[in-house]
């Protein structure tokens, strides 16, 4: 890892526009066969919790074919690796290849570890003939020990493109429940740290394992968007359409944004810095919010196509 050429970056990861990330165990041929039909913005091939210890080697051997299969359908692929160093190294050897958009790093607590994995991935990218730096990192925050270091983690290297709370492991480490009131503070800390670092905040306040009540899940996703989250990871295909709908601007939001931007053009022509739309004052922050809504709508439409 000391070769100076390995630190020369050809590229940075493109900013993701994930609303929905669906977990798929890489060892399940049945789930893999239909994964590209689920409508998710990205499929996360899992080498960690959904794979028993005695099946890890088999999962790694299956991974390249699964990546190629999904990438061939135009699906963005994320791979979640294991945390122990020896497992992580072998996982990355299998995962760093064409078609992989990002690597999920579980149980992240130390920025030094993120940077070490960044260097390892750079070497593997170079060996594979990929642009060095093009594969992103999604950081999974799963313990209270990570909370004081969230900004350091989010800014630890240019590969970090998104961050989320792992509610089940976090609740275990914190000895709390996965009820929304128990997870609100850590969820918001993760979301605000991601916003401060300019990366994508993923998640919602609650357990990822509960998927039997679509109405309750929709309420949590609507809340998550109000709190600043941009997308989420889920384990059931039925949740994907809810994420795609509620993490996209509504027709009313888009109509409002376009009225604001139309009024902005007229105001600029008249030399005005503030004006009114729908009886409310509009100035720079409101204009920027309208621009983001339009950009988000375009990204959502592109993903849906």
Per-residue pLDDT of the chain (305 residues; tens, 9 = 90+): 444 344 455 667 888 999 999 999 999 889 999 999 999 999 999 999 889 999 999 999 999 999 999 999 999 999 999 999 999 999 999 999 999 999 999 999 999 999 999 999 999 999 999 999 999 999 999 999 999 999 999 999 999 999 999 999 999 999 999 999 999 999 999 999 999 999 999 999 999 877 778 999 999 999 999 999 999 999 999 999 999 999 999 999 999 999 999 999 999 999 888 889 999 999 999 999 999 999 988 888 887 77
Measured distance CA(93)–CA(97) in Å, rounded: 9
> Which residues make Cβ contacts (< 8 Å) with residue 105, sequence separation at least 6?
81, 83, 113, 114, 117, 137, 138, 139, 140
Residue-wise pLDDT for 102-146, tens only, equals 999 999 999 999 999 999 999 999 999 999 999 999 999 999 999
- This prediction has a pTM of 0.90
> Which residues make Cβ contacts (< 8 Å) with residue 98, sequence separation at least 6?
71, 128, 130
Task: Give ∠ CA 138-140-141 in degrees, rounded to 5.
Answer: 140
> Domain boundaries in the chain?
4-246, 251-304
278: number of Cβ within 10 Å: 9
Q: Among 123, 128, 114, which residue's Cα sits nearest to residue 4? A: 123
Q: How far is CA 8 from CA 4, 101, 134, 135, 161, in A?
A: 7, 20, 12, 14, 19
| CATH number 3.20.20.60 given to 4-246 | yes
Measured distance CA(71)–CA(283) in Å, rounded: 43
Q: Are 166 and 187 in contact (CB under 8 A)?
A: no
162: number of Cβ within 10 Å: 27
294: number of Cβ within 10 Å: 17
> Which residues make Cβ contacts (< 8 Å) with residue 25, sequence separation at least 6?
31, 45, 46, 50, 51, 59
127: number of Cβ within 10 Å: 11
| Strand, coil or helix: 50 | coil
């Amino acid at each position: 890892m000391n070769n100076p050429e390995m630190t020369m970056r050809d590229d940075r990861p493109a900013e993701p526009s994930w609303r929905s990330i669906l977990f798929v165990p890489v060892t399940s041929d049945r789930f893999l066969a239909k994964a590209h039909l689920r409508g998710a913005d990205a499929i996360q091939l899992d080498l960690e919790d959904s794979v028993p210890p005695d099946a890890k080697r088999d999962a790694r051997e299956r991974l390249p074919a699964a990546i190629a299969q999904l990438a061939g359908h135009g699906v963005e692929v994320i791979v979640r690796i294991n945390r122990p160093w020896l497992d992580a190294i072998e996982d990355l050897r299998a995962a760093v290849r064409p078609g992989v958009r990002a690597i999920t790093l579980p149980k992240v607590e130390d920025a030094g570890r993120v940077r070490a994995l960044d260097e390892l991935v750079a070497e593997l990218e170079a060996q594979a003939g990929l642009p060095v730096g093009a594969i992103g990192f999604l950081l999974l925050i799963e313990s209270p020990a990570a909370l004081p270091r969230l900004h350091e983690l989010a800014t630890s290297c240019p590969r970090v493109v998104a961050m989320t709370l792992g509610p089940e492991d976090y609740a275990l480490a914190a000895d709390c429940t996965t009820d929304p009131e128990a997870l609100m503070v850590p969820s918001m800390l993760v979301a605000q740290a991601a916003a401060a670092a300019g990366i994508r905040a993923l998640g919602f306040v609650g357990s990822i394992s509960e998927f039997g009540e679509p109405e309750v899940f929709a309420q949590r996703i609507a809340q998550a968007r109000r709190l600043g989250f941009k997308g989420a990871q889920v384990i059931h295909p039925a949740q994907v359409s809810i994420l795609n709908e509620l993490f996209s601007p509504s027709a009313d939001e888009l109509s409002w944004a376009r009225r604001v931007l139309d009024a902005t053009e007229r105001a600029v022509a008249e030399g005005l810095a503030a004006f009114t739309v729908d009886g409310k004052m509009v100035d720079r922050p409101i204009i920027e919010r309208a621009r983001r809504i339009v950009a988000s709508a375009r990204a959502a439409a592109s993903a849906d196509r």
